[in-house]
Amino acid sequence: MIIGAGAAGLMCAAKAGARGRRVLVLDHANKAGKKILMSGGGHCNFTNLYTEPANFLSQNPHFCKSALARYTQWDFIALVNKHAVPHHEKKLGQLFCDGKSMDILQMLLAECEAVGARVRLDTTVEKIERIETAQDGGEGAGGAQGGQGGYLLQTTSGPVRCTSLVIATGGLSIPTMGATGFGYEVARQFGHQVLPTRAGLVPFTITDQLKELCTELSGTSVDGLVSCNGKSFRENILFTHRGLSGPAILQISSYWLPGQAVEINLLPDRCVPDWLAEQRRDRPNAELKTLLGEVFTKKMAQLLCEQWFVSKPIKQYAHAELENIATRLSEWQVVPAGTEGYRTAEVTLGGVDTREVSSKTMESLKAPGLYFIGEVLDVSGHLGGFNFQWAWASGNAAAQFV
Ligand X SMILES: Cc1cc2nc3c(=O)[nH]c(=O)nc-3n(C[C@H](O)[C@H](O)[C@H](O)COP(=O)(O)OP(=O)(O)OC[C@H]3O[C@@H](n4cnc5c(N)ncnc54)[C@H](O)[C@@H]3O)c2cc1C
Site residues, ligand X (CB under 6 A): 3-9, 26-29, 34-35, 38-40, 44-45, 124-125, 168-170, 173-174, 178-180, 182, 346-347, 374-376, 385-388, 391
Closer of 239 and 390 to ligand X (Cβ): 390
Handedness of CA 136, 137, 140, 145 (dihedral sign): negative
To ligand X, the closest distance from the beta carbon of 130 in angstroms equals: 18
To ligand X, the closest distance from the beta carbon of 52 in angstroms equals: 15
Closer of 37 and 213 to ligand X (Cβ): 37
To ligand X, the closest distance from the beta carbon of 101 in angstroms equals: 8
To ligand X, the closest distance from the beta carbon of 25 in angstroms equals: 9
To ligand X, the closest distance from the beta carbon of 397 in angstroms equals: 13
Taking each helix axis as running N to C, give the angle between helix 272-282 and helix 319-330, from 0 to 180 degrees, rounded to the nearest 10.
Answer: 140
Rounded Cα distance, 402 and 396, in Å: 10
Closer of 37 and 335 to ligand X (Cβ): 37
Residue, CB closest to ligand X: 6
Closer of 344 and 400 to ligand X (Cβ): 344
In Å, what is the CA distance from 70 to each residue of 13, 300, 369? Answer: 17, 48, 21
Annotate 43-97 with DSSP letters as a single string: T-EEEETT--GGGEE-SSTTHHHHHHHHS-HHHHHHHHHHTT--EEE-STTEEEE
Contacts of 3 (CB under 8 A, 6+ apart): 9, 25, 26, 27, 125, 165, 166, 167, 168, 169, 182, 183, 186
- Under the phi-then-psi rule, with left for phi > 0, alpha for psi from -120 to 50, and beta for the rest, what region is 227? beta
Closer of 76 and 317 to ligand X (Cβ): 76
Closer of 35 and 161 to ligand X (Cβ): 35
Rounded Cα distance, 346 and 202, in Å: 6
To ligand X, the closest distance from the beta carbon of 100 in angstroms equals: 12
